[in-house]
């Protein structure tokens, strides 16, 4: 069976004030072309289709257009799950009706969760969709005692595996943080305070596991457990990433071979460093002036309207850093660069500066609990 694995489209994303829908449409047209060229038997989308629980209209229209092309023009079934950015209820609307057209959307975890069965010349393959769900939701919906993400994942997997006859080929789709994976700045944490990581051995019984959440394409523990990575670069920390989708070939025994299929963005995300006058000379060979840029200026003196000057050459300069100023002016503070610190760390520093006392363990736990409630409400809006 030929499987095309993708994830983390984040449709409707806003990047430093720039709406990325046009960029996403550009790269998704390449994806549709790739579907026609590779002729997969199924497409897997492992969560975070949208960037927020209530996506903008143009993002919804883009998804409708892309899925319609895949299903109506190429007749390739699509199996998708909700990620932590998606609204489970909205994404799962009309599931039974859409499944008749080959679109299998799984938004919520409940007792009706079951594998999707597709067949090739060697027989059936059982696809187990595991949408993102907080441990309390899994505990309530599946009537079990779970308090961690690891326990929640085991509970869902056991619920699905018991429905599969022994000896068949199996594929899992999950949106989770598997231990050992490399994180990026653009990924929203799955929980605050507690451990959201799960061990890769959760998926040891599957011939292939298609993961979503981490934005760098990578294996997670073993070669048959894989993150496809995000559709595009969604932070400057991802500037060095090589974005792709994963083509998986599964044989009659369940053994797999994977291949990364690269997608080319309309505008790249890049980081430039140098002196202002050198950068104003323009892009080098193979570089585009229209790319989304973070510029680090090495100049030590005052610069009037640095952004304005840079945008005369690079119209999409989105962020400027002045290391000389942050070092001499101590803008980073005692905890280091605030942009790379968690909400819990930032609040702890703020609390200690205001009160003169460190945050207690009880207060830290209360803060983390409140932040988790906020994240949950964001997903449910």
3-state SS, residue 348? helix
Q: What's the confidence (pLDDT) of residue 18?
A: 95
2-262 belongs to which CATH class? alpha beta
Both tokens assigned to 166: 């022994």
Given a cut of 70, whether residue 262 has pLDDT beyond it is yes
Burial of 266 (C-beta count, 10 Å sphere; 0-12/13-18/19+): middle
The alpha carbon of 374 is separated from its chain's Cα centroid by a whole number of angstroms, namely 19
Query: What's the whole-number mean pLDDT along residues 176-181?
Result: 86
d(CA 347, CA 96): 45
Query: What's the whole-number mean pLDDT along residues 158-167?
Result: 96
Q: What's the confidence (pLDDT) of residue 329?
A: 46
Both tokens assigned to 26: 């550009």
Chain segment 117-152, per-residue pLDDT in tens: 999 999 999 999 999 999 999 999 999 988 899 999
Q: What's the confidence (pLDDT) of residue 197?
A: 87
Given a cut of 90, whether residue 374 has pLDDT beyond it is no
Band (pLDDT 50/70/90 cuts) for residue 340 is low
Domain layout of the chain by residue ranges: 2-262, 269-380
Cα-Cα-Cα-Cα dihedral sign, residues 112, 142, 206, 7? positive
3-state SS, residue 266? coil
Q: 94: number of CA atoms within 13 Å, CB side?
A: 8
Backbone conformation region of residue 123, classed left if phi is above 0, alpha if psi is from -120 to 50, else beta: left
Q: What's the confidence (pLDDT) of residue 70?
A: 97
Given a cut of 80, whether residue 365 has pLDDT beyond it is no
Q: What's the confidence (pLDDT) of residue 360?
A: 84
Query: What's the whole-number mean pLDDT along residues 152-165?
Result: 96
> Judging by DSSP bridges, how do beta strands 2-6 and 14-15 pair with one another?
unpaired
Q: What's the confidence (pLDDT) of residue 377?
A: 64
Given a cut of 90, whether residue 172 has pLDDT beyond it is yes
Q: What's the confidence (pLDDT) of residue 352?
A: 74
Band (pLDDT 50/70/90 cuts) for residue 195 is low
Chain segment 317-335, per-residue pLDDT in tens: 999 999 877 655 444 555 5
Please give the mean pLDDT across all residues of the chain: 89
Given a cut of 70, whether residue 361 has pLDDT beyond it is yes
d(CA 308, CA 123): 62
Q: How many of the other CB atoms lie within 10 Å of CB of 245?
A: 26
Given a cut of 60, whether residue 158 has pLDDT beyond it is yes
Chain segment 90-121, per-residue pLDDT in tens: 887 777 778 888 999 999 999 999 999 999 99
Chain segment 68-90, per-residue pLDDT in tens: 999 999 999 999 999 999 998 88
The alpha carbon of 141 is separated from its chain's Cα centroid by a whole number of angstroms, namely 25
Q: 19: number of CA atoms within 13 Å, CB side?
A: 9
């Amino acid at each position: 069976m030929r499987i095309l694995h993708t994830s983390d489209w984040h449709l409707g994303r806003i990047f430093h004030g720039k709406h990325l829908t046009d960029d996403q449409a550009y790269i998704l047209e390449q994806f549709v072309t790739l579907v026609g060229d590779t002729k997969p038997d199924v497409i897997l989308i492992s969560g975070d289709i949208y960037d927020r629980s209530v996506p903008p209209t143009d993002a919804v229209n883009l998804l409708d257009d892309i899925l319609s092309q895949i299903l109506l023009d190429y007749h390739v079934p699509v199996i998708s799950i909700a990620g932590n950015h998606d609204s489970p209820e909205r994404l799962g609307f009309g599931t039974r009706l859409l499944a008749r057209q080959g679109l299998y959307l799984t938004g919520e975890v409940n007792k009706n969760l079951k594998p999707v069965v597709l067949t090739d010349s060697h027989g059936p393959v059982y696809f187990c969709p595991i949408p993102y769900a907080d441990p309390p939701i899994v505990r309530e919906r599946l009537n079990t005692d779970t308090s961690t993400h690891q326990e929640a994942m085991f509970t869902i997997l056991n619920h699905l595996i018991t429905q599969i006859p022994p000896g068949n080929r199996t594929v899992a789709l999950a949106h989770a943080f598997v231990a050992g994976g490399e994180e990026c700045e653009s990924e929203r944490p799955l929980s605050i305070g507690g451990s959201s990581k799960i061990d890769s051995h959760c998926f040891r019984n599957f011939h292939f596991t298609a993961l979503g959440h981490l934005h760098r394409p990578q294996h997670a523990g073993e070669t048959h457990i894989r993150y496809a990575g995000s559709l595009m670069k969604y932070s400057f920390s991802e500037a060095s990433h090589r974005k792709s989708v994963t083509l998986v070939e599964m044989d009659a025994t369940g053994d797999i071979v994977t291949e990364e299929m690269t997608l080319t963005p309309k505008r790249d995300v890049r980081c430039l460093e140098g002196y202002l006058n050198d950068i104003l000379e323009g892009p080098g060979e193979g570089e585009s002036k229209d790319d989304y840029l973070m510029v680090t200026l090495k100049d030590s003196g005052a610069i009037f309207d640095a952004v304005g000057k840079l945008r005369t050459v690079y119209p999409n300069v989105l962020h400027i850093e002045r290391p000389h100023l942050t070092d001499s002016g101590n803008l980073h503070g005692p905890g280091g660069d605030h942009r790379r610190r968690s909400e819990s760390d930032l609040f702890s520093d703020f609390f200690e500066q205001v009160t003169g006392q460190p945050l207690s363990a009880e207060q830290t736990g209360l803060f983390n609990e409140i932040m988790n409630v906020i994240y949950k409400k964001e997903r449910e809006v």
